Amino acid sequence: NAGVTQTPKFQVLKTGQSMTLQCAQDMNHNSMYWYRQDPGMGLRLIYYSASEGTTDKGEVPNGYNVSRLNKREFSLRLESAAPSQTSVYFCASRIPGQGGVKNIQYFGAGTRLSVL
Amino acid sequence: EDQVTQSPEALRLQEGESSSLNCSYTVSGLRGLFWYRQDPGKGPEFLFTLYSAGEEKEKERLKATLTKKESFLHITAPKPEDSATYLCAVQPYNQGGKLIFGQGTELSVKP
**Interchain CB contact of A33 with B (< 8 Å):** yes
Q: What pLDDT, on a 0 to 100 scale, did the predictor assign at position A1?
A: 62
Convert the pLDDT of each residue in B30-85 to its tens digit. Answer: 999 999 999 999 999 999 999 999 999 999 999 999 999 999 999 999 999 999 99
d(CA A111, CA A3): 15
Interface contact flag, A107 B99, Cβ < 8 Å: no
Taking CB atoms and an 8 Å cutoff, what residues of chain A touch B99?
33, 43, 45, 105
Confidence of residue A74 (pLDDT cuts 50, 70, 90): very high
User: For A38, which residue in chain B has the nearest alpha carbon?
Assistant: B103
Q: What is the per-residue pLDDT across A80-90, written as a single tens digit (0 to 9) for each? A: 999 999 999 99
The pLDDT of residue B106: 97
Dist CA B66 CA B23 (whole Å): 9
Q: Is the dihedral of CA B22, B42, A81, A29 positive or negative?
A: negative
- Which B residues 19-58 touch A at CB under 8 Å? 32, 34, 36, 41-46, 49, 51
On chain B, the residues whose CB falls within 8 A of the CB of A33 are: 97-99
Residue B60: CB partners within 8 Å, gap ≥ 6? none
Average pLDDT, chain A: 94
Tell me how far apart the alpha carbons of residues B86 and B34 are, in angstroms, rounded to a whole number. Answer: 10
CB contact under 8 A, A107 and B45: yes
Span A23-67, pLDDT tens digits: 999 999 999 999 999 988 889 999 999 999 999 999 999 999 999
- CB contacts, 8 Å: A109 with chain B: 42-43
